[in-house]
């Protein structure tokens, strides 16, 4: 009899625990946080320094929910052209061929290791504006070797166009991410790690 009472109590407690967990999340099962690496995302541009022409060309748009590039006019989060990274939120700097911004994307750059950035500080989120791109300061330029290198210890934290969150660590600006890129290396090919939090209202990674 004691054994039966214990089993019945255990079942009740398990059921209560399960219901409490569901209640904490609004009755919905949380989706898994996604961690991926993107290799050789091509972000060409025309014009620019030394060409005598203004920078132009279509931006390469990326969606964290899809995990790939997209041609959608509205459902993109960040977009790349040359060394420029823009957000689908805020306003344009007025440069040529920028896509229309229809979302609520925002972001910031924070110092630290990628794995140690465990949550979003929503007070730091800023949108692009006429004053500049929020995510512009991700790299350094070597004027001797004419090489672009991601600045170590800088992590891009992003609010997506639909209000979810991601963090990005840019690994390379060169095709196939060579350890020591040179002037001869093919460039404007992004390789980066990202973690995407697909659950609305969740700010942890």
Q: What is the mean pLDDT of each run of 10 residues along the chain (205 residues)?
A: 39 38 63 98 92 93 98 98 98 95 98 98 97 97 95 98 98 97 97 98 98
Q: Are residues 35 and 20 in the same domain?
A: no
Query: Does residue 5 share a domain with residue 104?
Result: no
Residues 3 and 74 in one domain: no
Looking at the structure, tell me whether residues 124 and 52 fall in a common domain: yes
Q: What confidence score (pLDDT) does residue 85 get?
A: 98
Tokens of 175: 């095709």
Q: Is 205 domain-assigned?
A: no
10 Å Cβ neighbour count for 139? Answer: 15
Establish if 67 belongs to a structural domain.
yes
Shared domain check, 61 and 18: no
Predicted confidence at residue 48, as pLDDT, reads 85
How many distinct structural domains can be found in the chain?
2
pLDDT score, position 15: 40
Task: Give the domain extent around 24.
Answer: 1-28
| Residues recorded for the chain | 205
Q: Coil, strand, or helix at residue 37?
A: strand
Domain match, 130 and 170 both: yes
Q: How far apart are CA 103 and CA 75, in angstroms?
A: 8
Domain shared by 12 and 85, yes or no: no
- Asked whether 43 and 81 are in contact (CB, 8 A), the reply is yes
Q: Is residue 203 situated within a structural domain? A: no
* Helix then strand then coil, % of the chain, to nearest 5: 15, 40, 45
Q: 């541009």: which residue's tokens? A: 45
Please tell me the predicted confidence (pLDDT) of residue 24: 52
C-alpha 155/C-alpha 136 separation (Å) is 12
Are both 160 and 77 inside the same structural domain?
Answer: yes
């Amino acid at each position: 009899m004691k054994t039966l009472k214990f089993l019945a109590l255990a079942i009740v407690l398990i059921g209560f625990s399960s219901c409490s967990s569901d209640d904490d999340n609004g009755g919905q099962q949380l989706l898994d946080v996604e961690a991926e690496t993107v290799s050789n995302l091509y972000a060409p541009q025309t014009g620019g320094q030394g060409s005598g022409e203004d920078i132009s060309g279509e931006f390469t748009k990326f969606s964290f929910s899809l995990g790939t590039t997209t041609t959608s006019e509205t459902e993109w989060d960040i977009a790349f052209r040359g060394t420029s990274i823009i957000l689908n939120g805020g306003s344009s700097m007025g440069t040529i061929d920028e896509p229309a911004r229809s979302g609520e994307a925002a972001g910031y750059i924070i110092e630290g290791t990628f794995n140690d950035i465990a949550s979003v500080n929503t007070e730091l989120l800023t949108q692009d504006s006429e004053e500049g791109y929020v995510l512009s300061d991700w790299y350094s330029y070597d004027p001797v070797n004419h090489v672009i290198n991601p600045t170590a210890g800088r992590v891009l934290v992003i609010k997506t166009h639909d209000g979810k969150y991601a963090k990005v660590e840019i690994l390379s600006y060169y095709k196939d991410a060579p350890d020591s890129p040179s002037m001869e290396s093919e460039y404007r090919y992004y390789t980066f790690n990202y973690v995407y939090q697909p659950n609305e209202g969740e700010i942890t990674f």
